[in-house]
Amino acid sequence: MKEIKLAIIEDDEVIKESLETFMPQHPSILITASFTSVEAFLEKARSLRKPLVDVMLLDIGLPGMSGIQGIYHIRQKYPDLDIIILTTFEEDDKIYDALCAGACSYISKRTPLLKIQEAIFTVSRGGSYMSPAVARKIAQRFMPKAKKKGDELSERQMQIVQALVDGLSYKMIGHKLDISLDTVRDHIKRIYRTLEVNNKMEVIKKVMDGEL
């Protein structure tokens, strides 16, 4: 099996030491760099002519430049590098930002060391690896959002719905919105039809239930 040059950028010394100890137990993994900041890694990389790394385990919450900010600078030096984000952050925005910046995998630090090692081999073969919880968040981000009935109402119709909730009569609604009584009635008929209700109390109930 081809030797994999692994770099680690992690400022938690306990986690860093665990990775440094466990990963080289496989004969195909060689740790060629281990730093606590992106800046320290880049400084070392500038002085080397030969490639320093094939795969990188990169934390997000680092001193100085964050891992997400660092991806751009790291890939400027190593455009073919496979970056695995290894972090405690599992917020949707952090995951999305890291993947958009150029990371190929995103793994929680709660992932067992053996699974992290498996991820290294997966990405070195051209694949991508995600923790199950992370994969679910990514899927949910791109999952079509169910439309509320209120999304089908026009802005004017939503104004009328709010007026009904506020207890205004048809005449008062017309005066408030500067439209005729007939126009108010026409809008309300359309609202009932769209929401599949028969009276204003059902409209108000939908608002109170968070359906609009």
Question: What's the pLDDT at 77?
Answer: 86
Q: What share of the chain is helix, strand, coil (3-state, %, to 5)?
A: 55, 15, 35
pTM here? 0.65
Mean pLDDT of the chain: 88
- 149-208 placed in CATH 3.90.180.10: no
Q: How far apart are the first and last CA of the chain?
A: 58
For 55-95, how does the pLDDT look when each residue is reduced to its tens digit (9 = 90+)?
999 999 999 999 999 999 998 888 889 999 998 887 778 88
- Asked whether the CA dihedral 59, 64, 68, 70 is positive or negative, the reply is negative
The reply to whether domains 4-142 and 149-208 share a CATH topology is no
In which band, very low, low, confident or very high, does the pLDDT at 17 lie, cut at 50, 70 and 90? very high
d(CA 199, CA 206): 11
Task: Give pLDDT tens digits for 126-172.
Answer: 998 888 877 777 777 666 655 555 568 888 999 999 999 888 999 99
Sheet strand arrangement including 105-108? 29-35, 4-9, 55-58, 82-87, 105-108
Domain ranges of the chain: 4-142, 149-208
Check if the beta carbon of residue 38 is closer than 8 Å to that of residue 70. Answer: yes
CATH of the domain spanning 4-142: 3.40.50.2300
